[in-house]
Amino acid sequence: MPITADCHLHSHHSGDSDTPMEAMILRGIRLGLDTLCFTEHQDIDFPDSPDGPGETFLLNGDSYLYELVRLRETYGGDIRLLFGVELGLQPEAFQPVCAYAGAYEFDFIIGSSHVCHGRDPYYPEFFRGRTEESAFREYFESVLENVEKFSCYDVYGHLDYVVRYGPGRDREYSYEKYGDILDEILKKLIETGKGLELNTGGLESGLKNPNPCPGILRRYRELGGEIVTVGSDAHAPGRIGSHFDLAAQILKDCGFRYYAVYQKRIPEMRTL
């Protein structure tokens, strides 16, 4: 396996998983991975449902870190365990999000768009009454707003996440269809030294491509981007490291020679 680090994992510390951290670690060791980075959800002002905001994705960082340190003592000789977080970015939550990013000595911070202008694309209501294209475009506009406002992250996670939930999913979706706004996003990421994540969770959810699609990854590379991390977005042990051979091939096909693993917010470049 050319990729031996899974840098996007969730356990019971995230609101959408009930998996013990230890079970995730044992699975990573069995797979022969050398590094796991937990990236538990912290989504401030996340709308739990179309009815309004709730607290499903608020992270208890102290509890999370305590358990990770304890498990490092047990398994640190078998696998490197990194302390990460996946921050949900929304401009209106700018101050508390950035404060949380600085509250702990994270190894790695993923910035993600799970919410678009106060609405969750997971729910069909996000797409109702308009074309899929207009919904996707609004989502990408919100991503651009985030990359222009935030700097308290290392890579942007699953950049075209919205495609997972569109009525047609990725049947008629391509980089070229949204290239004007996607180029603005990618240029801003490169200008500010931020990377992209190749997230194989899209493949697990039935898409034909990971998130983001190869067209976005290729364009990021053409524009001069070099930093790409790889994560399964696993919320259960069976999905750790899923499709990593394919991910490596996609990255090579898009012109990348390396993938990145962050420790203490510094990228270590590994040969594909």
Q: Tell me, what amino acid is at 59?
A: L
For residue 57, the model assigns a pLDDT of 87
Q: What is the pLDDT of residues 213-257, one digit of tens each?
A: 999 999 999 999 999 999 999 999 999 999 999 999 999 999 999
Neighbours of 32 (CB within 10 A): 10
Provide CB contacts within 8 A for 40, sequence distance 6+.
10, 11, 13, 14, 59, 64, 84, 85, 86
Structure tokens at 51: 């009815």
Find out whether 225 and 260 touch, Cβ atoms under 8 Å. no
Residue 180 pLDDT grade (very low, low, confident, very high; cuts 50, 70, 90): very high
Q: Is the pLDDT of residue 52 over 70?
A: no
Q: What is the mean pLDDT of the chain?
A: 95
Provide CB contacts within 8 A for 256, sequence distance 6+.
217, 221, 226, 228, 272
Q: What is the pLDDT of residues 133-146, one digit of tens each?
A: 999 999 999 999 99
pTM: 0.96
Our measurement of the distance from residue 148's CA atom to the centroid of its chain's CA atoms, rounded to an integer in Å, reads: 18
Q: What are phi and psi of 192, to 5 degrees?
A: -100, 10
Structure tokens at 220: 């990021």
For residue 8, the model assigns a pLDDT of 98
Domains of the chain: 5-271 (3.20.20.140)
